[in-house]
């Protein structure tokens, strides 16, 4: 990768590694995120997503490797980086004794936004998050969901060049999640957004590109469609059956190499699955087929394929 490519990238990670004692939380990650791109890190809890965000927002020193944000090195120029980023942490991060306006004003002030502009943005964000009626109350009186929505609004008020959203919709109701998705989608093209999530549909719906991360490593990288295409032609046949044994799975593999046992039967990834062939293989082994259905490949399947685990576990 040449230097001009690095300059074009809003975020560049090179062999970025972070260890906590014996544990390697982030393991030599190379990655480039383009200006205006909405990039998602998808992975289960403990995969290393938040550690990456903490390093990129200059809260955590890398053990080795480097990273730049808008061309600035995270170890050498933290203040310059902090001037162009904002972060929505995974935990709800609000000042409990202030009201919503004051919380938003606090973050706007820290990022040097003029008071009139901050007020206007705060009004929009409070309305978007459905907090207008209670915005004047101390937030310690808010419900958990309201606090969460305010915490996310606080990351959006500074309108930064680079926005880190660490599990932004975790624990939110569908309506609030939808509102935040719409807002994030509106940032596409103009802001660089790094979104971590373990909601597959979130990554699928929002991300221009995504990386599947597991045990601190990127195991797959591309657009959602590219990743889905990488594991099959796009179809999965789900065979729901009673008594699906390992022996039955092995027998199916002789017909179709990509077969997995699932809790209620088996999944076959293959272009043309002949249900009668499947029946012929399974019946002599005492497996009773209840139903078969074709479904399209999802990111869940992609995740399972690359990590051997289900993301929702």
**Contacting residues toward other proteins, per CB under 8 A:** 54, 57-61, 78-79, 82-83, 85-87, 89, 91-95, 97-98, 102, 105-112, 138, 154
Name which of 194, 193, 218 is nearest 14 in CA terms.
218
**Residue number with CB closer to other proteins (43 or 62):** 62
Bridge partners (DSSP) of residue 242 are 288
CA distance 193 to 41: 11
Rounded to a whole number of angstroms, the minimum distance from the CB of residue 39 to other proteins is 18
Rounded to a whole number of angstroms, the minimum distance from the CB of residue 105 to other proteins is 7
What torsion, rounded to 10 degrees, do the Cα atoms 281, 284, 286, 289 define? 40
Rounded to a whole number of angstroms, the minimum distance from the CB of residue 154 to other proteins is 7
**Residue number with CB closer to other proteins (43 or 160):** 160
Rounded to a whole number of angstroms, the minimum distance from the CB of residue 106 to other proteins is 5
Rounded to a whole number of angstroms, the minimum distance from the CB of residue 176 to other proteins is 19
Rounded to a whole number of angstroms, the minimum distance from the CB of residue 93 to other proteins is 4
**Residue number with CB closer to other proteins (103 or 197):** 103
First-to-last CA distance in the chain? 37
CA distance 27 to 32: 16
CB 265 within 8 A of CB 239: yes
Name which of 133, 130, 109, 131 is nearest 119 in CA terms.
109
Name which of 113, 197, 127 is nearest 157 in CA terms.
113
Rounded to a whole number of angstroms, the minimum distance from the CB of residue 163 to other proteins is 11
């Amino acid at each position: 990768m040449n230097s001009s490519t690095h300059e074009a990238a809003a975020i560049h990670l090179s062999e970025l590694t972070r260890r906590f004692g014996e544990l390697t939380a982030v393991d030599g990650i190379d990655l480039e995120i383009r200006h205006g791109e909405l990039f998602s890190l998808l992975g289960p809890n403990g995969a290393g997503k938040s550690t990456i965000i903490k390093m990129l927002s200059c809260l955590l020193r890398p053990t080795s490797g480097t990273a730049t944000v808008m061309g600035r090195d995270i170890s050498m120029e933290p203040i310059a980086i902090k001037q162009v980023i904002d972060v929505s942490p995974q935990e709800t991060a609000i000042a409990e004794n202030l009201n919503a306006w004051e919380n938003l004003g606090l973050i706007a002030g820290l990022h040097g936004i003029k008071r009139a502009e901050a007020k206007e943005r705060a009004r929009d964000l409070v309305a978007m998050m459905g907090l207008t009626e209670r915005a004047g109350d101390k937030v310690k009186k808010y419900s958990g969901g309201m606090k969460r929505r305010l915490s996310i609004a606080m990351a959006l008020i500074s309108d930064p060049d680079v926005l880190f959203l660490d599990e932004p919709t975790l624990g939110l109701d569908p309506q609030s999640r939808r509102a935040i998705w719409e807002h994030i989608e509106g940032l596409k093209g103009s802001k660089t957004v790094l979104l971590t999530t373990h909601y597959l549909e979130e990554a699928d719906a929002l991300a221009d590109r995504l990386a599947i991360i597991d045990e601190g490593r990127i195991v797959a990288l591309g657009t959602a469609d590219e990743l889905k295409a990488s594991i099959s032609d796009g179809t999965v046949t789900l065979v729901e059956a009673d008594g699906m044994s390992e022996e039955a799975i092995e027998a199916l593999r002789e017909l179709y190499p990509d077969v997995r046992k699932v809790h209620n039967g088996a999944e076959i990834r293959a272009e043309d699955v002949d249900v009668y062939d499947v029946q012929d293989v399974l019946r002599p082994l005492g497996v009773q087929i209840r139903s078969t259905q074709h479904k399209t490949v999802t990111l869940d399947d992609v995740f399972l394929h690359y990590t051997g685990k289900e993301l929702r576990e």
